[in-house]
Structure 1
Amino acid sequence: MTANKILNSLYKVTKQVIKGLTLKERAEAVAKLCVEELNLKLCWIGKKQKDGSVSVFVQYPPEHPYPGKIKVRWDESEYGSGPTGKAIRFKTYQVLQDIESSQYKLWLSTAKKYGFKSSASFPIIADGEVFGALNLYANKKNFFNSKIIEAFVSFSEILGIAFRNALFFEQSIDRLNKITALRNIDLSIISSFDIRVIYDVFINAAVNLLNIDAVSILIFDEATQELYFKVKEAY
């Protein structure tokens, strides 16, 4: 694959990443275009979890069974010894030009079923924090030449910034929804002495703006207690 082909492909991916507003939309665009533009067999983005595990955030093709059949971690356990775990833990890319190596022994038999011959994992980092890793699989050995690696190192840096911005956007919307919900409850308390009206506003705000399940409200779990006492105090 020529350098121009690689750059043109990643340019297309970058344009799609910038277009998306949500983190999920951006991640899905990346996975799809990496496979379609670079003739890869599979791309999945793993999300770093606090317990040391790596979850599948998005993948393309969406129906490919491989990500769901493997266990991956980023800690120092044996399941953290593969490319994905090391990319996240050491914050640097990991490339296996031939997956038939000791580093890939835990996943080798499964990977061979789907025709994988080489793989690469690039950490997604923003402001020093690792979100996860971009994982790529090809049906050829030595697929990830120096040009591809260099391009994806730069691309993963752009990806980190794009993901950070999308995450900030989602967090801002979430905070705005919470403020709006509490403001609506306050206004209902001020403007009405009918407890039924206040209760209706409370239910609507909790379910539609705070994303609390209606069942949780009925059983009065911890997720609703704080909001309840806010209403009670104001009332």
Structure 2
Amino acid sequence: MNRQNDICKVVTLGDSGVGKTCLLQKIKYGTYNNENSMTIGIDCLHKTVDLGNKLITLELWDTAGQERFDAMNKLYIRNVMCILLVYDITNEESCFKLNKWCDLIDEQAPSDVIKILVGNKCDKRTRMITTEIGQSVADYLKMPFIEISSKEDVNVDELMDLMLVIKDYKMHSVFRKETLKSMNKAAGNGYANTVLIFNLFKFKFIFTRQLLLIVKYVLK
């Protein structure tokens, strides 16, 4: 029997050198390559995840961070389901420029797109952006937040799980907005949504805060 194969389009945005290509290659191949050259234009990788009752294919679009490719990036964030907004925790400028990428998202991406702020290279000792600052930026931008290291394989699987949760949140009928609103009203808080996600999808998932943020921002 053929199982349903859903597509989840994911686009990375962020300055050149923040590690977008390494991250997507880590998700796709499970390996880290420090010799990656600068992305020219745009590239796409596919990662199929077997959830038992169905398959989910992540379309992972790797964009270039240079300004000369902004016009091309605009085309690829239309009809996107999830955007990974990536900065380098050792590079303050890459964090300062997040507003530029947010403006691009506001102008071109669907109004209901889910955005995740990703602080990359958390294995580095030359940190310039603290976790607390990253979380504050995420709260200001109204995004879930996670720090990762593609090199040391820190939280990469958790990030992929977060994207899968978001995919089902947006596509599966049981997570339509009216259902969630009714549940919140009956329960008096957003925790019923988190419990339902865990019960239905059985993810070994540690980001309760991020899940609650998804509930908050999907229903905004």
Q: Which TM-score applies when normalising by structure 1?
A: 0.26
- Decide which structure has greater helix share: 1
- Decide which structure has greater strand share: 2
Q: Which TM-score applies when normalising by structure 2?
A: 0.27
Q: Of the two, which has the highest radius of gyration?
A: 1
